Amino acid sequence: MLSIFPDLLIYNFLGVTIIRVTLGLLGVYLAFKVLSKRNQLIDFVVSMKFPLVPFAVVSPWILFILFIVSGGLMIIGLYTQVACIVLAYLFLKLLFIDIFVKNFSGNSTIFYIALIIFSLSFIFLGPGTFAYDLPF
């Protein structure tokens, strides 16, 4: 099928880069959102009756650090496949927390499912342009 704007097809390599940077920025944004709601997260972890209850106090900080590091790696395009797997896991974790803790993040379930699918797609798509881990 013919394209309506065929001149724009020469910029197709930038599409993956835009999605990668956006996904990294969303990871950093959600890191600060988790940190702002850390008291709700601590109460949730304590109520789960896990044997790791002392871990509940540091769990928001661990989530924060993982989101910042993996989001930053996605923004600069370094170790993109590893960072996208970590981000997919963190998005899945936030999805379950958001289901069990009402009004935790204010995001919908579809939002997290879309973020999980986008982050897992980078295993196969690669980092795009303007990244440090381009294939040699």
Q: Which of 6, 30, 21, 31 is nearest to 129 (CA)?
A: 21
For range 5-9, the mean pLDDT: 82
Q: pLDDT band at residue 115, thresholds of 50, 70 and 90? A: very high
**At residue 129, does pLDDT exceed 60?**
yes
**Per-residue pLDDT tens digits for 43-61:** 777 777 666 556 666 778 8
Pair of tokens at residue 81: 């496949």
**pLDDT score at 56:** 65
Burial call 48-87: b when 16+ CB within 10 Å, e when fewer: eeeeeeeebeebbeebbebbebbbbbbbbbebbeebbbbb
**Per-residue pLDDT tens digits for 66-99:** 999 999 999 999 999 999 999 999 999 888 888 8
